[in-house]
Amino acid sequence: MNSNSVFLLIFCVLFCIFVSVGVADNVKKSVDDNRDDNGETNDEAKDESLEVPSENEPNKVTCSRRINTRLHEIRAATRNQYPFMAAVMSDHDDYICSGSVVSNGLILTTAQCTQQSISYVLLNSTGAKKNEGGALAYHIIKTDRFPTFSTTDTDKDVGLLYTDKFPPEVASKIKISDYRSTRNLVDVEAIGFGLNSEVGTMKELQYIGVENRGFPIPMVDSRDLIRGYFDCIDTKVVTCFKDTGGPGVFNQELIGIVVKGQTECIKEMTSAYAVNKKLVEILPTYTFKAWLDEKITKNEEKDPVQLVTFPSMPTASASRRVISYQGTEGKKAGDGKKKKKKMRRRGSILLHFITFSGLFS
């Protein structure tokens, strides 16, 4: 290589950068298309300088937490997955909030839920809709609230609904956990009907896997809550998770009540959107367990028809169905395709860069 060709090479590189910056978007698109078709274009040299830097974009920064299938996920619940779930409905058949069956005819929810115009609960349903898919309605006879609850104090936002008793094949009850601290709690499942009316869809039972983060900060927020966060979620499940009253579940036991969800609806969450995103606040059961245990005991003294405890299914004949994860499979396949495409592109960039330098050697 003599000095002339070195000069020429430098000039060409600078020229190419200049040109490609101006037409960045178009070039990028057309180059992608062309490559998929025939793998060859005339202006390959131009796009190297613009493609290479765009390859080290910041996407990878925080997405390291996808090992556990439930953590950092939003999924639609399958039928029979949560046989203790109740949808609390108004007398206009509107969905109000979620609840958990803790005893026959006794449903745990938020106190705020009990203060609305509620009428009945739906059991055996993944959609919050009467007369659909085997959903069974039970009339609410009486409500109860944690004694110190007031509308300004959300610390003890705990309510109970008393309904007509149900036959044991209708629902399972969930056990109240004996844990006493949120310190060692990492992953929590929160379950609810999404409350996604703002995007005009049916409310479907769904669960989210969140990470307990953000311990109480003295003077700022010292409330004893499980604060459920998300990282790098990438979901197509329509969600709001605005609803409250649903359970926080760990190890198939009830560890809390969702007392705060989202304020807005989103159609889908992308990984870029959901970095360190707080999804829910869950009031731990140990803060009201003595009170609740007493209510449950009282309820069961009077009632000989006991429910089986989750994860047992309501009837002996109802076999436990295999939980399908179709959503994930679809997503994974998509990921794979994307990755492959990216790699192919990188490969061709390298190849053409070699061609380009070869011109001047």
Residue ranges that bind ligand NAG, judged by CB under 6 A: 79, 124, 133-134, 136, 169-170
Q: What is the largest CA-CA distance in the chain?
A: 99
Q: How far is the CB of 204 from ligand NAG (least distance, A)?
A: 14
Closer CB to ligand NAG, residue 144 or residue 169?
169
Q: How far is the CB of 89 from ligand NAG (least distance, A)?
A: 17
Q: How far is the CB of 125 from ligand NAG (least distance, A)?
A: 7
Q: How far is the CB of 314 from ligand NAG (least distance, A)?
A: 7
Closer CB to ligand NAG, residue 13 or residue 202?
202
Closer CB to ligand NAG, residue 20 or residue 172?
172
Q: How far is the CB of 205 from ligand NAG (least distance, A)?
A: 12
- Of all residues in the shown chain, the one whose CB is closest to ligand NAG is 134
- 24-37 and 326-358 helices cross at what angle (nearest 10)? 100
Three-state DSSP state, 220:
coil
What tokens does 12 get? Answer: 């060409």
CB 106 within 8 A of CB 123: no
- Alpha-helical (H) ranges within the chain are 3-22, 24-37, 44-55, 111-114, 289-302, 326-358
What tokens does 82 get? Answer: 């949560």
Q: How far is the CB of 133 from ligand NAG (least distance, A)?
A: 5
Helices vs strands, H then E, count in the chain = 6, 13
Give whole-number Cα distances, 63 to 59, 78, 269, 271, 337, in Å: 8, 27, 14, 8, 18
Closer CB to ligand NAG, residue 114 or residue 125?
125
Q: How far is the CB of 172 from ligand NAG (least distance, A)?
A: 12
In the block, residue with structure tokens 């004996």: 178
In whole angstroms, what is the distance from residue 241 CA to residue 227 CA?
14
Closer CB to ligand NAG, residue 65 or residue 79?
79
What tokens does 233 get? Answer: 């979620």
CB 211 within 8 A of CB 267: no
Q: How far is the CB of 238 from ligand NAG (least distance, A)?
A: 21
Three-state DSSP state, 191:
strand
Phi, psi of 107 (to 5 degrees): -125, 130
Closer CB to ligand NAG, residue 56 or residue 131?
131
Closer CB to ligand NAG, residue 282 or residue 307?
307
Q: Is the peptide bond before 147 cis (omega within 30 degrees of 0)?
A: no
Neighbours of 326 (CB within 10 A): 10
What tokens does 204 get? Answer: 């479907």
Closer CB to ligand NAG, residue 134 or residue 336?
134
